[in-house]
Amino acid sequence: MKQTPKHVQYAYEQYVRAYNAYDTHAYWSLFHWPYTAVTGHECVIQTHPPCALIELKHQSGCAYMQIISLQVVAYSERTAHVVVRLARLDNQQQLIDECDMVYIYKKIHDEWKIYVVSIVDDARIDTAVGVELSG
């Protein structure tokens, strides 16, 4: 089946649904192992799921995620770059903060898997062209 950017968008929506449902197995199955996590101050290569999803939520304080905007800014038959603005919510579904994220997906056996996650600290993203602007 020919894949399109909509397939990548659907894969990301699955990721958010699994997170919000506390479904550890489904959540971590959406990653390609090893995967890389990049923040403003570090780059970590994970070779296996680091913890149960409930532990991850406890560590971050984020119980739920809500997609504010999502755009596939680069796409090929095997890789895709997705820019997302997320609302992070607490247990009462109150807003903690909003964050910009860039996800790089890799197609493995006809499934889109998260390969790299980058949190864009203190920056804004021009989604019209898909480049970071200093802010």
Digit-by-digit pLDDT tens for the chain (135 residues) are 566 789 999 999 999 999 999 999 999 999 999 999 998 788 999 999 988 888 888 888 899 999 999 999 999 999 999 999 999 999 999 999 999 999 999 999 999 999 999 987 654 444 444 443 333
Cβ neighbour number for residue 15 with a 10 Å cutoff? 22
- Please state, in angstroms and rounded to a whole number, the distance separating the CA atoms of residues 120 and 99: 7
Q: Which domain holds residue 88?
A: 5-133
Q: What is the largest CA-CA distance in the chain?
A: 41
DSSP characters for 17-31?
Answer: HHHHTT-HHHHHTTE
- Give the predicted TM-score (pTM) of the model: 0.84
**Which residues make Cβ contacts (< 8 Å) with residue 115, sequence separation at least 6?**
31, 32, 35, 36, 79, 104, 105, 106
CATH number, position 53: 3.10.450.50
- Domains: count for the chain: 1
List phi, psi (to 5°) of 45. Answer: -100, 120
